[in-house]
Amino acid sequence: MLDKSLFISSDLHKKVVEMADGSKHEMYFRELPYIEVSRYQAGIQSADEDERAAASAKLVAASLCNPDGTPALTFEQASRLKPSVGAALFHAAVAVNTPAKKKDSDPVQTTTSGTS
């Protein structure tokens, strides 16, 4: 059986998101399953310009939620956000879905003297 830490949590992540105008908003984000992240990656790599443009809005709509876990906005609403707002929400969603590495899991750095 796989360890439960290998799966997304159903817990919501409360984040204070600072907008370009300096205002701060408390918002909630959910962790996204692998399939949603794969959809985003496929979208930004698409040959279709509209698909590439929509990828970030889809990611925001999938991750941003109300305190009760229900979606906070639709893809159509995310598509109409001001660019600076969309960027702030996108960065918050990515931060929730990209956990920081633990210090003990960082790669070991080795050096060589160039001699054998």
| Kind of pairing between the strands at 24-30 and 12-18 | antiparallel
User: Topology of domain 9-100, per CATH?
Assistant: rbstp2171 (3.30.2220)
113 vs 3, residue with greater confidence: 3
Phi/psi of residue 25, nearest 5 degrees: -130, 130
Q: What SS3 class is residue 86?
A: helix
The pLDDT tens digits for 44-76 are: 999 999 999 999 999 999 999 999 999 999 999
Query: Is it the case that residue 103 has pLDDT exceeding 60?
Result: no
Q: With a threshold of 0.85, does the pTM exceed it?
A: no
Q: Would you say 51 and 67 are in contact if contact means Cβ atoms under 8 Å apart? A: no
Q: Would you say 37 and 97 are in contact if contact means Cβ atoms under 8 Å apart? A: yes
Query: Is it the case that residue 105 has pLDDT exceeding 50?
Result: no
Query: Is it the case that residue 113 has pLDDT exceeding 50?
Result: no
**H-helix or E-strand spanning residue 52:** helix 49-63
Phi/psi of residue 82, nearest 5 degrees: -60, 145
